[in-house]
Amino acid sequence: MDDTSNVGTIAFYLVAGLVLLFLVVALVRSVRIVPQTVAIIVERLGRYSRTLDAGLHLLIPFVDRVRAGVDLREQVVSFPPQPVITSDNLVVSIDTVIYFQVTDPKSAVYEIANYITGIEQLTVTTLRNVIGSMDLEQTLTSRDQINGQLRGVLDEATGRWGIRVNRVELKAIDPPASVQGSMEQQMRAERDRRAAILTAEGVKQSQILTAEGEKQAAILRAEGAAQAAILTAEGEARAILQVFDAVHRGDADPKLLAYQYLQILPKIAQSPSSKMWFLPSELTGALGQLARGFSGAGDTGGPARPAGESPLGEDLPPVALTDPAEALAEARRESAAATADATSAGTLSGRPFDPTVELGQRPGGGAVPPPLQKPATPPAPEEPTA
């Protein structure tokens, strides 16, 4: 009897333990805590029941079953390089990066078995279609266009999968090694051409600027020379006017002018190019003035009168003839007086008078050329009236 009771007690405790274990397992299976940004698909008796969001949820044990958990965050998937043929029959390797996000967990679970593989294969086929209509240069320079076309096709195709494609990026486009060498040579040649063009433009600009500078400098030099010539001419004109005015104010003696005539005539005769030369008509008058000066006659310009004859026709006592030595001394005095008059005339004109230069004598002896000026024409001797 005791053995039977013991067996019954053991069986009771065993059943109670199993029931307790069942209750614990059922309780654990009925309580589900879902984390943030995760969605859980629940099936009841093999059919879709509901989608559990973040939080605490209760399930019916052994009736409800969790099918899958879906991550709702944006995911980044990098696909390996894919060989793509361009329109000019070149094979390029393209690496792509896809940014996508699950918007409908139910469709992502039930519409496609593996949406990652589906996105990869769809990206490869779409990329081949897009690149196949472009040549190599367009492929390398049209990344934004390719990205836009891929995103449009993928977003439209994955919409029914409950997936939104946010961005598609081409990580790398690698042409063949031979094409890369040709591209480098082309780029180097293009850069050399641009450098040569820039150098030629610089040389052109520098030559233009140099020519402009030389032109302006020549213009300025010509203007300076013209102004200098004008000022020089004005100065010479003023000097001539002042000399002319000084000569007229000084009232040069005809004797001095006659002496200048006698000084310049031998110079004219000594010129080797002179075959013949003419005496001016005023030379007779000048020589007459000089003769009258040396003979002691008056300055009236009339003919020399015999010694002892009165100009008024009156009877005067006879006058003895002048001694030649005295006549020579008188001529020297008159020459000194003419020199003094010329000195005063030179002082009035603003230039000191040098007798040795003006009279054709060097300071140390010998004749010098007379000044380069046209001597004034002496007045013709007056004819005696009857």
Average pLDDT over residues 136-162: 85
Q: Any idea what the CATH number is for the domain that residue 169 is in?
A: 3.30.479.30
| Chain centre to alpha carbon of residue 302 | 86
**Number of structural domains in the chain:** 3
Residue at 310 is within a domain: no
Q: Is the pLDDT of residue 93 over 80?
A: yes
Q: Is the pLDDT of residue 165 over 80?
A: yes
pLDDT tens column, 26-56: 888 788 888 888 999 988 888 888 888 888 8
Instruction: Say which residues have a Cβ less than 8 Å from residue 282's Cβ, sequence separation at least 6.
Output: 261, 377, 378, 380
The pLDDT-based confidence of 261 (bands split at 50, 70, 90) is low
Residue at 246 is within a domain: no
Distance CA 372, CA 376 (A): 12
Q: Is the pLDDT of residue 315 over 50?
A: no
What is the C-alpha R_g of the chain? 67
Same structural domain, 381 and 260: yes
Same structural domain, 25 and 120: no
Q: Is the pLDDT of residue 374 over 60?
A: no
Identify the pLDDT of residue 194.
Answer: 92
Average pLDDT over residues 139-146: 84
Identify the pLDDT of residue 278.
Answer: 54
Identify the pLDDT of residue 27.
Answer: 81
Out of 33-47, 266-280, 330-344, 347-361, give the one with best mean pLDDT: 33-47
Q: Is the pLDDT of residue 311 over 50?
A: no
Same structural domain, 256 and 373: yes
Identify the pLDDT of residue 289.
Answer: 60
Same structural domain, 375 and 274: yes
Residue at 201 is within a domain: no
Domain end point (choices 157, 175, 193): 175
pLDDT tens column, 273-290: 655 655 555 556 655 665
Distance CA 97, CA 119 (A): 11
Domain end point (choices 175, 210, 230): 175
Same structural domain, 54 and 79: no
Domain end point (choices 129, 153, 175): 175
pLDDT tens column, 174-195: 888 877 788 788 888 999 999 9
Identify the pLDDT of residue 363.
Answer: 42
* Boundaries of domain holding 334: 251-303+323-386
